[in-house]
Amino acid sequence: MSDYLGKIKKVITEKTGLESSEIGAESYIGDDLNIGDMELLEILEELEETFHVELIERSDSFETIQDIIDLLEEKIQ
C-alpha cells in the first residue's frame, strides 16, 4: 500500500486529536472515528492541498478511510 494512509492519519490526528493507532484503512469515518461532516470537510481540504486533487466533490461517497485512499490512488496515478 502507498503512503497515503500515513498522510491521512497525520491530518486526522491533527484535526481531531485521535491517536494514529486508532485509525486504519478499514476504519469507518463516522462510526469508528466519530468524524462529523464538518470535520471531514476540513480533513479533505487539507488532503486536497497536500495532493493537489479534488476530493470534496465526492465527500458523500466516503464511508471508510480506504475509500479516500482509493480515490487518491485513482486521481494521482
Residue 1's pLDDT is 46
| CA–CA distance, 56 with 54 (Å, rounded to integer) | 6
Q: What is the pLDDT of residues 49-64, one digit of tens each?
A: 999 999 999 999 999 9
At the topology level, CATH places domain 4-76 in 1.10.1200
Residue corresponding to grid cell 491517536: 19
Domain limits of the chain?
A: 4-76
Nearest Cα to Cα of residue 44 among 27, 65, 25: 65
pLDDT lower than 70: segments of the chain: 1-2
* DSSP β-bridge partners for residue 64: 28
What pTM value is reported for the model?
0.93
Residue 2's pLDDT is 62
